[in-house]
Amino acid sequence: MAETVAERVVRVFAEFKKLPPEEIKMETTFEELGLDSLDGLNLIFELEEEFDLTVPDNQIQEMKSVEQVVAGIEALLEAKEKGIDVTAEAAKEFAESQNSER
């Protein structure tokens, strides 16, 4: 049976931290794994490679636990399936939010 998204995320976490996969739980946070911000970016990069997608800058802040990463990746995979360029969308959204503040 093919690996689920959650299983693939756990595998990437486990390889990154050199831990057995069973020690990575859904509720495990980056903080609990001792990951600082730069480690976190490196881990996100590994996930981008695993799933062949790009996580927009503004979604990084919403990825602080395994569960949040799985949710974020699933949403990005769905967007990719539909052919939505999330990076362009995020840039557009940001530009609009800036304009509305002026």
Partner 1 sequence: MKRVAITGIGVVSALGNTAADFWKTLSAGRSGIAPITKLDVSTLRFQNAAEIKNFNDNEHFDEKELLWLDPFSRFGIVAAREAVADSGIEFDKENSGVITGNCLGGKMTEDELFYKLYAEGKQRHQPVAIPRAMSNAVSSHVSMEFGLTGATFTTSTACSSANHAIGQAFWLVRQGTLDAAIVGGSEAPLCFGHLKAWESMRVVSPDTCRPFSKDRSGMILGEGAAMFVLEDLEKAVARGATIYAEIVGAGMSADAHHLTMPLATGAAKAMKMALKDGNLQPEQIGYVNAHGTATQANDTMETAAIREVFGAHTENIAVSSTKSMHGHTLGAAGAIEMAATVLGMHNNLLPPNANFNEKDPECDLDIIANEARPAEIEAAVSNSFAFGGLNAVLAFKSYK
Give the x-and-dash track for 73-102 against partner 1 (CB under 8 A).
--------------x--xx--xx--x--x-
What are the start-end ranges of the H helices in 4-101? 5-17, 37-51, 57-60, 66-81, 86-101
Active site residue 36: yes
How many whole angstroms separate alpha carbon 64 and alpha carbon 81? 24
Question: Contact with partner 1 (CB under 8 A): which of 45, 46, 49, 78?
Answer: 45
CB 16 within 8 Å of CB 46: yes
Q: Which residues contribute to the site for partner 1 (CB under 8 A)? A: 36-38, 41, 45, 56-57, 60, 87, 90-91, 94-95, 98, 101
